[in-house]
């Protein structure tokens, strides 16, 4: 606890500056929305004609005339980049600074183990990220209320949760790197965050680079996907509805009987899990996602395919059953989309409708409603 308090005291200035910067930019963006709302028809047309630039930032898939569309793009970029830079900078120097300042030997003379030191520093990073996100979330909610807009609680909560998970992942990567560096860790941390951000932009621009979404955590924070899937599902199916988008991440959304987006769950995508299994286990090969020959595999490759397919199907069944318990006495529709859905859905025990074009249909519906 002493070590955690010490790290928090050392990092409080950085925490204050970054929180103030991100919070101030969010306030400015939100307070600009009422002034810009009446001009958004022209802005939407302008963004729609900007080609790859529009696709890179997801601006072709959201309506800037709505608060959630404006927030997902403008505030999402502020929170995404600002939060990512802070988390990376905070974590990157957590271990390397002991070598840089020549205090590692002094630290280890105390009656604490290396494990406790590393754990304490990890917890200090985690606490700082939590503090920044809580303050920024309160600022966002307060600003939306101050401009007189209705607060989209479910979407807002899901966006902020996605960016919080993004920051934790980047912090984990950077603190691992800091263990091997004496100097330049801050630059390396900021560089990693920036690289991950631009990899996601490239993946959004061209289908040939879509594999990059398996690398960058920014690929999990696409607000446009969350909004569009919900709109399409409401047009085609009777609520309550569970939507399952199986792409880079597996995104599960829940729409209530009152046609409100209640929130959802974010999980690692099937390919992401499969690649992590191959990379982290030295003796396991890289394999493609295919239908398993049987439940019980006979070879290493068959066992891996069976585990990832039946395991994911069983996980989805369990989540669907638990969500249905939240809607007693109601018939809940379940629809799946995304590149991995055709392989997984057939092994689920719950009836799940597959809609290949759910996302595109949602985008078309949004376009038609805002012409």
CB under 8 Å to 74, separation ≥6 — which residues? 29
Residue 225: active-site member: yes
Q: For residue 262, what is the enclosing H or E element?
A: strand 261-268
Query: Which of 225, 331, 239 shows the shortest CA–CA distance to 269?
Result: 225
346: DSSP letter? T
- For 11-23, b where at least 16 C-beta lie within 10 A, e where not — what string? beeebeebbeebb
- Distance separating alpha carbons of residues 45 and 60, to the nearest angstrom: 9
- Distance separating alpha carbons of residues 115 and 118, to the nearest angstrom: 5
Q: DSSP for 218-245?
A: GGG--HHHHHHHHHHHHHHSPSSEEEEE
- Distance separating alpha carbons of residues 24 and 166, to the nearest angstrom: 21
| Annotated catalytic residue within 60, 225, 229, 245 | 225
Query: Which of 333, 162, 310, 336 shows the shortest CA–CA distance to 244?
Result: 336
Number of C-beta neighbours around residue 285 at 10 A: 9
**Three-state SS across 73-122?**
HHHHHHHHHHHHHHHHHHHHHHHHHHHHCCCHHHHHCCCCCHHHHHHHHH
Establish how many alpha carbons lie within 13 A of residue 87's alpha carbon, considering only the half-sphere containing its beta carbon.
29
| Catalytic residue ranges | 225
């Amino acid at each position: 606890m002493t070590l955690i308090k010490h790290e928090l005291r050392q990092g409080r200035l950085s925490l204050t500056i970054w929180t103030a910067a991100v919070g101030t930019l969010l306030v400015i963006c939100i307070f600009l929305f009422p002034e810009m709302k009446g001009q958004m028809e022209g802005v939407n047309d302008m963004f729609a004609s900007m080609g790859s630039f529009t696709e890179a930032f997801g601006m072709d898939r959201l309506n800037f005339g709505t608060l959630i569309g404006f927030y997902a793009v403008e505030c999402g970029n502020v929170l995404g980049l600002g939060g990512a830079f802070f988390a990376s900078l905070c974590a990157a120097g957590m271990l390397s600074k002991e070598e840089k300042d020549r205090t590692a030997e002094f630290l280890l003379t105390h009656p604490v183990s290396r494990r406790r030191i590393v754990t304490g520093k990890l917890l200090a990073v985690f606490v700082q990220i939590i503090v920044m996100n809580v303050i920024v979330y309160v600022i966002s909610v307060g600003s939306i209320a101050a401009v007189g807009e209705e607060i989209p609680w479910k979407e807002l909560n899901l966006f902020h949760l996605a960016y919080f998970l993004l920051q934790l992942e980047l912090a984990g990567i950077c603190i691992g790197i800091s263990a091997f560096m004496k100097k330049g860790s801050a630059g390396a941390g900021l560089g990693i965050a920036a690289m991950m951000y631009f990899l996601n932009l490239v993946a959004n621009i061209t289908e040939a680079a879509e594999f990059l979404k398996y690398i960058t955590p920014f690929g999990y924070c696409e607000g446009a996907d969350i909004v569009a899937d919900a709109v399409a599902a409401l047009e085609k199916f009777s609520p309550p509805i569970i939507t399952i988008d199986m792409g880079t991440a597996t995104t599960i959304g829940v729409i209530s009987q009152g046609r409100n987006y209640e929130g959802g769950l974010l999980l690692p995508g099937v390919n992401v899990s499969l690649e992590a299994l191959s990379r982290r286990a030295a003796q396991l090969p890289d394999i493609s996602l295919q239908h398993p020959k049987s439940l019980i595999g006979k070879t290493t490759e068959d066992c891996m395919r069976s585990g990832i397919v039946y395991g994911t199907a069983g996980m989805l069944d369990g989540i669907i059953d638990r969500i249905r318990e939240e809607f007693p006495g109601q018939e809940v529709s379940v629809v799946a989309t995304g590149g991995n859905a055709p392989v997984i859905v057939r092994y689920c025990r719950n009836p799940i409708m597959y809609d290949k074009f759910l996302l595109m249909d949602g985008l078309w519906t949004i376009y038609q409603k805002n012409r």
